[in-house]
Amino acid sequence: MSPITKTSYRVIIMTAACCIIAVINFANTYYVNAATGNDANSGTSPANALLTIQKGLDKAALPGDIILVSAGIYKQNLIWKFSGNTANKITLQKNGSGVVFIKSADASALPVIQITNFSNIVIDGFTITRDNAKNNAQGILINSSGSVLMQNIEVKNCVFTGINWSTNPNTKPTASQNSQPFIVYGRSSQAIQNISVHDCDFNNNITGQSEVCSFNSNIDGFSATNNILHDNTNIAIDVIGFEGENSNVNIDQARNGTISGNTFYVNQSPYAEGASIYVDGGKSVLIENNLIRDGDYGIEISAENDKPTIAYETQDITVRNNLIYNCRSAGLKIGNYKGKLQNALVVNNTCFYNNRGGRRDGDTGGTSNNFGPWAELVIDNMQDVKISGNIFYARTSNTAMINSDANALITNLTMNYNLWNNKNNAAGTGLTFQFKINSTNYSYTSYSAYKTSNTFNFDKQSKYGNPNFTNEGIVGNNSVNPDLHIQTGSLALAGGDPLAVTGAGRGFWGTTDYFSNNRIVGIIDIGAHELSTGSLQKTVANAAAVHISVFPNPTVSKAFIKGLPQGVYNCSVIDRSGNTLFTAKSLSANNSGITVSSLKQGIYTIKIYNKTAQYSCSFIKE
């Protein structure tokens, strides 16, 4: 082999540099404008904008290409054409202020946006909707097939609304009558990886028997974070397995996911009892720091599809630090009468005034019978589950504290260090704690009898009594607007599991509570609020690792920012058109309140910033 000369080195280096420059320069920005565009244009400048988004997708063939879409209405069903790469994604993004509506063509049942077998994609800032209802309508469909590897798809700052199978939310659907605002199907032999949907608003979707935001089948790595989901007619977020979407039953399961920092309200079905968050055959899922109110079930972890060759359809689920209140059925439903749940940790959630009952079967006028309440906590088929450090506070009329299905099979369940309470019932009498173990039913009619007489060591170190919330906010039988911080003197203080292990991953109790207070090293508080001063320091590596949110959300007069790292910040409140409405100064983690009473009803963005960092999140003003 001949030696490489200095001249040869120079040639190689210069050639490589030219290639790099060429790759960078080949990335294009395409402009789309519904008012001034023309698909005969090049699209490479605002003055030569394209008319349709599809034409932009047809042109954006290179990694790093960006399609900027100006405000307007774009009525077409879009089909994605190309992939980016891990360093340079293909991006479809709203351009400037105003709203960009992407609507399905009137007669079409095709998805508004369809992505099949493409990767490294960003969709940012659109309103996805339809003008008319259509059975099997879909907003964004992400779908893999064959043996293709799909990965790295991010959907953010979008609104999904009006993706309806029917115009009447009270019409009872059959099993084949559905719509899906956001759905991911892993039908390939290779798992879809790294799917993220965040800072989106899902509202007023009539989904029939389907769900609002779903991850189904062979998906390995997904997240749904900091979204707002409200006024939808069925399950809000669903993690699904074993429905037969993948031909290989061993990989027909969504797994390794995070559902965090979301706000759910009024996701109610007129024909069934859906959950705001549902894991139905999923595996390795972390559910934390979500606020859920006025739904059916709050959170359900179970499995509807019992597969003889699968030992446990749902496995390795952690549910922690969630606020759940005023739901029509149970705050937490753990286990299912069909499939099998194994290895779940359910800790430090606050469940308040759920199980209020309601009406269904397509009747909001009040002529049908109420459906019966279950309990604050429902337990069914499960093995190796720990339910610890939770607050279960029931309304006066609902005396069922624990309930289970008649055919429940429960093995190796640990329940302890919880705080139980029934409104206006200091003695804890006249209550029901009922469950079924090894085909034998057990039922107790007071907290004292349950605690002292059950032979399974359930709740032996738990407590009964008022947790002393800052404000219960009970307005009427079905109207609750609480502040679920605990106060000095609460029974929840230092009442949690002394063996709790703080950590960020699944199987741990977390490092902070719902309100971003550090969890104390030692005996933690019960419920989703840590009033004690935590000694476990939270390290913020970069802005991308910080997730701030607004509490309460929606809000009427005051918005508090939770999750702020230490420091002093300025704040701007921005409307959906990009207009800055007002600014505030000197915000901090200990002084994060912003007065928003003067704002009109709607959705707003808060930007928090100082010289070294910038964060943002959305909230709803009622």
**552-564 average pLDDT score:** 84
With bands split at pLDDT 50, 70 and 90, how would you rate the model's confidence at 558?
confident
Tell me the average pLDDT of the chain: 88
pLDDT of res. 546: 60
Check whether 371 has a pLDDT greater than 70. Answer: no
CA 272/CA 235 separation, integer angstroms: 10
**9-20 average pLDDT score:** 43
For residue 448, the SS3 value is helix
pLDDT of res. 224: 98
- Where in the chain is CATH 2.160.20? 102-356+371-467
DSSP annotation of 249 reads: G
H helix or E strand, kind and range, residue 288: strand 283-288
CA 404/CA 314 separation, integer angstroms: 18
How far is residue 146 from each of residues 30, 81, 83, 138, 151, measured CA to CA in Å? 31, 17, 17, 22, 15
**95-124 average pLDDT score:** 94
Report CA torsion sign: 317, 244, 181, 333. negative
pLDDT of res. 260: 97
96 φ, ψ (degrees, to nearest 5) = 80, -160
With bands split at pLDDT 50, 70 and 90, how would you rate the model's confidence at 611?
low
**226-237 average pLDDT score:** 96
Question: Beta-carbon neighbour count of residue 397 at 10 Å?
Answer: 12
H helix or E strand, kind and range, residue 68: strand 66-75
pLDDT in tens, 498-534: 888 888 889 999 999 999 998 887 789 999 999 975 4
pLDDT of res. 104: 92
CA 547/CA 566 separation, integer angstroms: 13
Position with higher pLDDT, 352 vs 106: 352
Decide: 549 and 592 in contact? Cβ < 8 Å. Answer: no
**522-551 average pLDDT score:** 66
With bands split at pLDDT 50, 70 and 90, how would you rate the model's confidence at 16?
very low
CA 334/CA 380 separation, integer angstroms: 6
pLDDT in tens, 191-218: 999 999 999 999 999 999 999 999 999 9
pLDDT in tens, 459-500: 999 999 999 999 999 987 778 999 999 999 999 999 999 888
pLDDT in tens, 24-53: 447 999 999 999 999 999 999 999 999 999
With bands split at pLDDT 50, 70 and 90, how would you rate the model's confidence at 535?
very low
Instruction: Find where tokens 């902070």 sit.
Output: 512
pLDDT of res. 132: 92
With bands split at pLDDT 50, 70 and 90, how would you rate the model's confidence at 68?
very high
CA 549/CA 537 separation, integer angstroms: 20
- Its CATH class, for the domain covering 554-621, is mainly beta
- Where in the chain is CATH 2.60.40? 554-621
pLDDT of res. 10: 44
Check whether 83 has a pLDDT greater than 70. Answer: yes
Report CA torsion sign: 455, 458, 461, 463. negative
pLDDT of res. 455: 94
Decide: 179 and 160 in contact? Cβ < 8 Å. Answer: no
Decide: 228 and 199 in contact? Cβ < 8 Å. Answer: no
pLDDT of res. 406: 67
How far is residue 472 from each of residues 376, 485, 528, measured CA to CA in Å? 16, 10, 15
CA 239/CA 395 separation, integer angstroms: 30
* Strand partners for 70: 95
Instruction: Write down the CATH number for the domain with range 102-356+371-467.
Output: 2.160.20
